[in-house]
Copies of this chain bind each other. A is one copy, B any other.
Amino acid sequence: MSTFPTTLQHCQALDTVDALHPLRDLFDIPAGVIYLDGNSLGVMPKTAAARAAEVVTQEWGQGLIRSWNTAGWFSLPQRLGNRIAPLIGAGADEVVATDTTSINLFKVLSAALSIAAQDAPQRKLIVSERSNFPTDLYIAEGLCKERGYTLKLVEPEEIAAALTADVAVLMLTHVNYRTGAMHDMTAVTAAAHAAGALMVWDLAHSAGAVPVTLKASNADFSIGCGYKYLNGGPGAPAFVWVHPKHADRFWQPLSGWWGHAAPFAFTPDYQPAPGITRYLCGTQPIVSMSLLGCGLEGFEAADKLGGMAALRTKSLALTDLFIQLVEERCQGYGLGLATPRAHAQRGSQVCLTREHAVGGSGAFAIVQALIARGVIGDYRAGDGGIHKDILRFGFTPLYIGFEDVWNAVEHLRQVLETGEWQKPEFNQKHAVT
């Protein structure tokens, strides 16, 4: 990487020749902000305001109850699912947008345990990563308690050895939220299957960020998030995919009327709809769900420019550049790299650690000082053990450019060089997401 440009002018030139660069014009990015938190909440597509107005004033206000049919509200989960499918390597009619990531994980993990209980009742373990996103672990913990399973948490390098004969399900997040480390979906799925376990993938930090090959990798179940890289808006509904070979096999226990074979027959007994529709439950938040469609338009525009493959190439160039510039320009301040250097093991974010002789890592305060300068990343606390405090920076190739990377690193350098992060106002913790 020694020939990579390292001046502002070089970065500007990279933007000029980047065929994807014009896609940023599809989004409203606040003036003065370099937004490196699209892995937590994506920015607003420019079409969102008009779409929200249309759904509220026309579809709700004027159409009222008729809009369930005339505006297609009732089929939104399936229609959005079919638009998400190509981003995650799923087929048509295999995905629905609905509910939240946590609730969808409950559904698929329930179904996976039901299959395991039937096919391999002696298997009583769910294996996951200790640094998996906590809500995944909480949902698994609850289901284990309900059904007499045990949740075994390991470090990433211990996963292979943990795939013993008593494992029912391996549940992993494809790209780790703390480190940006990415699993090899095909290899890990194959290892789980070779050990007789089912494979559940959380795509919260993958969908729209990296190419995903669920079906080609022969995964069993998957869920993901609508409001991160998919730019669906705050709390946008999540999505769920189930391999077609499993989809009709069990009900998931959240057996509400939207998953019924004939919801408007109003029969007292539950008859699950065929396929993925049975993973729906109750009436969906139509305004929020409609805005998810605006987020997906960005990817449909990118399709004409090479799609997810082109976005991935740019994403790696952005994260490579960020790593290089941090290492060149922020030396001597104790920063370390938590994200793998190998492209095959990296998602679309870069996470830094900080070693400091006194007063803790300073990671929280450095992030706050950057936010005050308009460079929005986020902070994730360590556990005092091997999981260190993290400065987290997401690079969304749809709207982040190479000059942004230069400027972000320049702000980081100044924050460290001036010591402004030590100001009291940057050291007062409050809830951050």
Contacts and interface: CB of A to CB of B under 8 A. Distances in A.
A381 B265 CA distance: 7
A137 to B, nearest CB: 5
Contact of A269 (B131, B141, B256): B141
Contacts of A284: 100, 235
State how many copies of this chain the complex holds: 2
Nearest to A266: B134
Nearest to A379: B264
A380 interface: yes
B432 A235 contact: no
A23 interface: no
Interface string A243-269: 000000001011111101001111111
Given A102-B257, A141-B269, A69 B153 contact: no
Contacts of A28: 57, 61
B134 A268 contact: yes
Interface residues of A, number: 91
A315 to B, nearest CB: 19
B286 A235 contact: yes
B291 A287 contact: yes
Contacts of A403: none
A433 B235 contact: no
A252 to B, nearest CB: 8
A288 interface: yes
Residue of A30, A62, A251, A255 most packed against chain B (CB within 10 A)? A255
A68 interface: yes
Interface in A139-160: 139, 141-143, 145-146, 153
Contacts of A265: 381
A73 B254 contact: no
A390 to B, nearest CB: 10
A165 interface: no
A287 B233 contact: yes
A37 interface: yes
A415 to B, nearest CB: 18
A206 interface: no
A283 B235 contact: yes
Contacts of A260: 134, 138
B101 A255 contact: no
Interface string A42-73: 01100011001101110111101111110001
Interface string A283-319: 1111111010000000000000000000000000000
A282 interface: yes
A227 interface: yes
A40 interface: yes
Nearest to A236: B285
Interface in A51-104: 52-53, 55-57, 59-62, 64-69, 73-74, 99-103
Question: Which 5 pairs from chain A and chain B are nearest by CB?
Answer: A100-B282, A102-B256, A285-B288, A102-B282, A135-B257
23 contacts: A30-B64, A37-B64, A43-B61, A44-B61, A49-B61, A52-B55, A56-B291, A60-B234, A64-B376, A68-B432, A73-B234, A100-B282, A100-B284, A102-B256, A103-B103, A103-B281, A134-B257, A134-B267, A137-B270, A138-B256, A139-B255, A139-B256, A287-B287
